[in-house]
Structure formats: C-alpha cells, structure tokens
Amino acid sequence: MDHERRRPGPLHDHVALDEIELYAEVLIAAARADRRLAMEELDRALGLVSPEVG
C-alpha cells in the first residue's frame, strides 16, 4: 500500500488569485507613497475609479 499523498495536479482558485492581485496593487501603491493613502487613492489602486489624467 502506498502511503504517500499525491497532489491531484495544479489547483486554481481564481477568486483567491484575484484577491492576491488586488492586495499586491495596494501594496505597490502604498510603497510608492510617502504617506498614508487616501480612500480615493486606494480606490484607484483597486481599479474602482478611473486613473487621473494628466
């Protein structure tokens, strides 16, 4: 009897991957700022509002 556990192959949790991507965007925006981000800046980093033009 083989007691080794085998993974069924790559697992894809698209919701978790999307959340990780959003978190990364917030981290990048925070790293670029020299202060706390305003709610509008967080919304922009998360893609909830259009980026400012100019």
How many helices (DSSP H) and strands (DSSP E) are in the chain?
A: 2, 0
Q: Which two tokens stand for residue 3?
A: 């007691």
- Of the chain, the percentage scoring pLDDT greater than 70 comes to 76
Q: Do 40 and 50 form a contact (C-beta atoms < 8 A)?
A: no
Answer yes or no: is pLDDT of 43 > 70: yes
Q: CA-CA distance, 32 to 18, in Å (whole number)? A: 21
pTM listed for this prediction: 0.63
CB atoms within 10 A of CB 45: 21
pLDDT digit string (tens) for 19-28?
Answer: 999 999 999 9
Answer yes or no: is pLDDT of 51 > 90: no
Residue ranges with strand state E in 1-54 = none
